[in-house]
Homo-oligomer: A and B are copies of this chain.
Amino acid sequence: MSWSLEPIGILHSCYKEKFAVPRQPGLAPSAYATLELLPPYNQPLCVEGLEQFSHLWLTFVFHQNLEQGWKARVRPPRLGGNKKIGVFASRSTFRPNGLGLSVVKLEGVDCSKGVKLQLSGIDLVDGTPIVDIKPYLPWADSLPQATAGWAPETPALLSVHFSPLAEKQLTTHKDGQQLKQLLIEVLSQNPRPAYQQTDPERIYGVLLADLDVRFRYPADNRLEVTELLPGRS
């Protein structure tokens, strides 16, 4: 018994690489993407009425991880990267069938040329293949009383600072203020792997929106954006 899945759309995301993508949707509300539907799904009829919903479920494929397969137990970053948990008790990106699930905010529906959905609050890397879209139904999907054992609340945040150089580079960027907000939301999630020791000298880099963002950890729980270089667009 097996079935074939094909993409119904491709996500064009501000996250140009996996590093620094938040571990769940909604943690960086300013993160944006365009979901471009593919033929034969890119007809306005397929999304008729969709604009009445504020949020959508996307089911997608962890396409960058499929070749690495799955293991029975994983090490979630939330547990410090050294404690193991069953793969089905986690949202690990390495899992049987390689399916992901993400709730995103629907900002707009553009049917002027094919179908494009404007989204925010996403946690998906650029190029992610989408295999289904469903409306979010609060009376069925919202369970605020649910208990979530080892991951009971949002991850702790780092405080994010900007060097004088980075501040200056933001002021000259055409979308500087929105980018600053995005950088704060994304980098406060602590993108560094949990198992790495703090090295205050080490400079990290991540491709985000049209930037190559450089940052370091001058102290525990503190992150400094040092410089903004041109990324790929």
A residues with CB within 8 A of B? 1-8, 24-27, 41, 43-55, 57, 59, 61, 66, 72-73, 84-91, 95-99, 101, 103, 129, 131-154
Contact = CB atoms under 8 A, between A and B. Distances in A.
Given A2-B4, A61-B3, A52 B149 contact: yes
Given A8-B97, A25-B140, A48 B89 contact: yes
A54 B101 contact: no
A140 B73 CA distance: 22
B49 A91 contact: no
Chain A, interface SS category: mixed
A57 B89 contact: no
A27 B27 CA distance: 29
20 contacts: A3-B6, A3-B66, A3-B98, A4-B4, A8-B96, A26-B143, A27-B140, A44-B86, A49-B150, A50-B89, A52-B89, A54-B146, A57-B101, A88-B134, A89-B135, A91-B137, A97-B131, A138-B145, A141-B142, A141-B143
